[in-house]
Amino acid sequence: MSIPQTVSPPTQEPGPKRSWTSTGQRQITATDALRVVILTTAALVALIPILWLVFGSFKTPTELSERPPTLLPQSWGFGNYTEALTRFDFGTYMMNSVIVTVAATVLTLLINSMAAYALAKYNFRGRNALFLLTLATIMIPLQVILIPVYQVVASFGMVNTLWGLIIPAAATPTGVFILRQYMLSIPDELIEAARVDGAGELKIFLRIVLPVCRPALAVVAILSIMWRWNDFLWPLVVAQSESVYTLPVALARFTAQETVPFNLIIAMSVVSILPVIILFLFFQKQITTGIANTGIK
Amino acid sequence: MIKASTKQEQRRRKPPLGLRLAPYLFLLPNTAIFVLFTIWPAINGFNISLYSSSNGRTFRWEGTGNYQRILSDDGFWGVVMNTAIYAVAFVVLSVGIGIFLAVLVDQQGRGRSFFRAAFFIPVLISPVVVGLIWNWMLERQNGLVNTFLGMEIPWLVDDNLALVAIIAVGVWMQVGFYMLILLAGLQSIDPTLYEASGMDGASRWLQFRTITLPLLQPSILVVVVLATIHGFQAFDYIYTLTGGGPVGATTLIVQYIYENGFVSPIRYGAAAAGSVLLFCVVFAITIVNYMIGRKREAV
Q: Which of A147, A278, A284, A285 to mutate to test the interface with B (most CBs of B within 10 A)?
A: A147
pLDDT at B14: 67
pLDDT at A7: 43
Q: Give the C-alpha separation, A167 to A103, whole Å.
A: 9
* DSSP per-residue codes, B76-113: HHHHHHHHHHHHHHHHHHHHHHHHHHHHHHHH--TTHH
Helices of type H across chain A = 30-56, 61-64, 79-87, 90-121, 127-136, 146-155, 162-166, 173-183, 188-196, 201-204, 210-212, 214-230, 233-238, 247-257, 262-282, 284-294
Q: Please, are residues A53 and A73 in contact by the beta-carbon 8 Å criterion?
A: no
Complex ipTM value = 0.88
pLDDT at A2: 39
Contact state of B235 with A255 under an 8 Å Cβ cutoff = no
- Provide the Cα torsion B258, B260, B266, B267; round to 10°: -140
* Residues B114-135 pLDDT 10s: 999 999 999 999 999 999 999 9
* Residues B4-60 pLDDT 10s: 555 555 555 667 787 889 999 999 999 999 999 999 999 999 999 999 888 877 888
Asked if A15 reaches chain B (Cβ–Cβ under 8 Å), the answer is no
| Chain B residue with the nearest C-alpha to that of A121 | B23
| B63 Cα to chain A: minimum distance (Å) | 17
3-state secondary structure of B280: helix
E strands, chain B, are: 51-52, 60-61
pTM of the model: 0.88
* Residues B133-160 pLDDT 10s: 999 999 888 888 998 898 889 999 999 9
3-state secondary structure of B270: helix
Q: In which residue ranges of chain A is pLDDT below 50?
A: 1-17, 21-22, 297
Contact state of B42 with A46 under an 8 Å Cβ cutoff = no
| A3 Cα to chain B: minimum distance (Å) | 23
pLDDT at A27: 67
Alpha-carbon torsion B226, B228, B232, B236, what sign?
A: positive
pLDDT at B275: 93
- Angle, CA of A76, A77 and A78, to the nearest 5°: 135
* Residues B31-46 pLDDT 10s: 999 999 999 999 999 9
Contact state of B29 with A111 under an 8 Å Cβ cutoff = yes
Q: Which residue of A20, A65, A150 is in closest CB contact with B107? A: A20
Q: Which of A143, A220, A233, A254 to mutate to test the interface with B (most CBs of B within 10 A)?
A: A143
Residues of chain B contacting A152 with CB distance shorter than 8 Å = 36-37, 40-41, 44
- Angle, CA of A120, A123 and A127, to the nearest 5°: 75
